[in-house]
Amino acid sequence: MITYLYWIAVFVVVSAVFFGIGIKGKNWKVGSIVAILILLVGWGVYYFRLQQVFVKHYGGVMSIRVPEGQYHLGATWKDDNLWIENYDPKTNTCIFSEYSKGNLLQGKVTIKDCNPLTPQVVPNRANSQ
């Protein structure tokens, strides 16, 4: 919900600037340029700063697609960055992928010979004595 409110506010400001400068001020070129700049700044602030903050703290909206051939195992937050755990059965690896703000600092941890989908056999210590 907060994501939609943010974008509504951005579009209201862009429309007001375009209307005020472009239509009322009769300066279409400047009104268009300023409106486009405000829209680009609004997009940049959202993508590089606010998207994950909105999702984590205020119930925002975000979509992530599981890569082809992998199985999703879990997700967790570390600070304001989202970590996703997937399993790739072809390579028998677990892949932890970080989705940071703006996806600039994406971390990736790969655990080899990880087979979380098969039940693990735990030795019975009572019978081994």
* 3-class DSSP assignment, residue 96: strand
Q: 70-100 burial, b for 16+ CB within 10 Å, e for fewer?
A: beebeeeeeeebbbbbbbeeeeebbbbbebb
Cα separations in angstroms, 99 against 55, 56, 72, 79, 90: 12, 12, 15, 11, 23
- Residue 92 reports pLDDT greater than 70: yes
The predicted-structure confidence for 3-39, as pLDDT tens digits, reads as follows 888 999 999 999 998 888 877 778 888 888 999 999 9
Q: Give whichever of 56-65, 66-75, 120-129 has the largest mean pLDDT.
A: 66-75
Using a pLDDT cut of 70, give the percent of the chain over it: 86
Strand partners, 75: 84
Q: What is the mean pLDDT of the chain?
A: 82
